[in-house]
Amino acid sequence: GDFHAVRPFWTIADTDVLLPGSEHQVRDGRVRYSCARSTGSTILVAEPAACNPGMSEWRVVVASGPLHESTNRRVVCRARGRYYDLEVVSQQRQPDGSVCYKLEPPMADAALGLAWVEVVETLPGGCEAVSAAVPMLLTTRCDICEEVSMLFEGVNPYERRAKAGVLRELAEVFHPEEGDQSLLAPSRCATLAVLCASHGLHRTLAELADEVVYRGPPYALALVAQVAEYLCPG
pLDDT at 131 over 90: no
4 and 53 housed in the same domain: no
Tell me the average pLDDT of the chain: 77
pLDDT at 122 over 60: yes
72 and 101 housed in the same domain: yes
Of residues 127 and 82, which shows the higher confidence score? 82
Whether residue 164 lies inside any domain: the answer is no
Whether residue 158 lies inside any domain: the answer is no
Q: How confident is the model at residue 93 (pLDDT cuts 50, 70, 90)?
A: very high
Whether residue 92 lies inside any domain: the answer is yes
| Percentage of the chain lying above the pLDDT 90 cut | 24
What's the Cα-to-Cα distance from 188 to each of 65, 77, 78, 110, 173, rounded to whole Å?
50, 33, 31, 24, 13
123 and 195 housed in the same domain: no
Each residue's pLDDT tens digit, 104-116? 999 888 889 999 9
pTM for this predicted structure: 0.65
Whether residue 100 lies inside any domain: the answer is yes
79 and 113 housed in the same domain: yes
47 and 148 housed in the same domain: yes
Whether residue 159 lies inside any domain: the answer is no
Of residues 215 and 142, which shows the higher confidence score? 142
Each residue's pLDDT tens digit, 170-203? 888 888 776 554 545 555 455 556 656 666 656 6
120 and 77 housed in the same domain: yes
Whether residue 87 lies inside any domain: the answer is yes
Which pLDDT belongs to residue 3?
A: 45
Cβ neighbours for 199, distance < 8 A, ≥ 6 positions apart: 207
Whether residue 120 lies inside any domain: the answer is yes
Whether residue 130 lies inside any domain: the answer is yes
Structural domain including 21 reads 1-36
Q: Where are the beta strands (DSSP E) in 48-158?
A: 50-51, 58-63, 71-79, 82-85, 87-93, 99-104, 113-122, 128-130, 134-138
Supply φ then ψ for residue 126, to 5 degrees.
95, 0
Per the structure, the count of domains in the chain is: 3
Which pLDDT belongs to residue 28?
A: 80
